[in-house]
Amino acid sequence: MTATMKLRFMCNVNCQEEPDSCVSEKLFLQIAEIMASDGWKDVGYEYLCIDDCWMAPERDSEGRLQADSKRFPGGIRRLANYVHSKGLKLGIYADVGNKTCAGFPGSFGYYDIDAETFADWGVDLLKFDGCYCDSIKHLADGYKHMSLALNRTGRSIVYSCEWPLYMWPIFKPNYTEIREYCNHWRNFADVYDSWQSIRSILDWTTSNQERIVPVAGPGGWNDPDMLVIGNFGLSREQQITQMALWAIMAAPLLMSNDLRHISLEAKALLQDKDVIAINQDPLGKQGYRLRKEDNFEVWERPLSNLAWAVAMVNLQEIGGPRSYTISLTSLGQGLACNPDCLITQLLPVKRKLGFYEWTSSLKTQINPTGTVLLRLERAS
């Protein structure tokens, strides 16, 4: 679980005029302080990730990547030491091709030296992008090479790939192979701070769920991209929907927001321990969309101890709350509530709904673009 800055701070390198919102050492020191002191670390957000635009425009005389010396005067190692002193871990960004997406030096031809550099600095996660790569072969070989190079350093570094994302337009990714090399992988376009963007990610996921759901599990995860909760584009209901469905999808929880300026409501949602527990469930099975009807979607996810998570989404963007009735026999291949179960609503507000028998049904009200998230547990 991670805080990253890409979507919120973009590639702002103008620290003269915008010292508080440029990609800089100062920004990451401030966020690390807040993550450690404001409850984020305690609920499991432990990685602080630097995205693109941290680098100097050129490698040093020995061919090593270097941080921009004006914006990161202490370099990455000093920042990593500070982050570690707060009980957190540091993530960094590089690219498999000749340049990063923002035009900084890429790792092509430098995979081994870059892996060693990151390990020397004390980096704990690498996000490896796929821009400026001239062929699918170079892309695949580069992702594999960097994976092996990271392993050879002897340092435990989470490896976040964009390999399938850059293959999809032309080839169908081999997820079994990708899983061998990567810890999580992006499949679809970058998230934006908008409901339309969240909808398009969910639509892509459901139309490809037969391919991608079975490959997810401990050690390797589908990454639907960042949580944009706490920014400007989503309503309260839409933020609930993103949090609930990212939990159902077993998604890496990567926030892109400004923790210095976040509403109490958004903070409470992002720190909701019950929802995080579903996301981080040790069984490690990704959930899926069970059905879609009349602008409602029902998603479900098997959890450990024979429990299930169920999300019901109202996709209608007009009118008021709508009621939806679900028969419990239809959930979890008929097993979720067999012979009976205790149901707790977790979102939009937590409340115990009580004891239900297998043959009963459950009626609920769901706001437009909102979601009701339930946890079903064996009663007996």
Give the pLDDT mean for 159-182: 94
Percentage of residues in the chain having pLDDT higher than 70: 98
At residue 2, does pLDDT exceed 90? no
pLDDT digits (tens, 9 = 90+) for 95-127: 999 999 999 999 999 999 999 999 999 999 999
Name the DSSP class of 214: G
pLDDT value at position 329? Answer: 96
pLDDT digits (tens, 9 = 90+) for 123-170: 999 999 999 999 999 999 999 999 999 999 999 999 999 999 999 878
pLDDT value at position 366? Answer: 98
pLDDT value at position 4? Answer: 65
Helix axes 195-207, 236-248, angle to 10 degrees: 30
Residue 145 identity: H
pLDDT digits (tens, 9 = 90+) for 312-349: 999 999 999 999 999 999 999 999 999 999 999 999 99
Give the pLDDT mean for 295-300: 98
Judge contact between 166 and 206, C-beta under 8 A: no
Average pLDDT, the chain: 96
Give the pLDDT mean for 232-254: 98
Name which of 186, 222, 361, 188 is nearest 301 in CA terms: 222
Give the pLDDT mean for 188-217: 97
According to DSSP H, which parts of 55-168 are helical?
A: 75-85, 111-121, 136-152, 163-167
* 72-107 as b/e: b if 16+ CB within 10 A: beeebebbbebbeebebbbbbbbbbbebbbbebbbb
d(CA 179, CA 215): 8
Give the pLDDT mean for 263-285: 98
Give the pLDDT mean for 355-379: 96
Judge contact between 351 and 345, C-beta under 8 A: yes
Radius of gyration of the chain (CA): 21
d(CA 101, CA 290): 36
At residue 19, does pLDDT exceed 80? yes
According to DSSP H, which parts of 271-342 are helical?
A: 273-279
pLDDT digits (tens, 9 = 90+) for 55-65: 999 999 999 99
pLDDT value at position 6? Answer: 61
Domains assigned to the chain: 2-280 (3.20.20.70), 288-378 (2.60.40.1180)
- The residues assigned a catalytic role are 129, 190
Q: Which two tokens stand for residue 255?
A: 């926030």
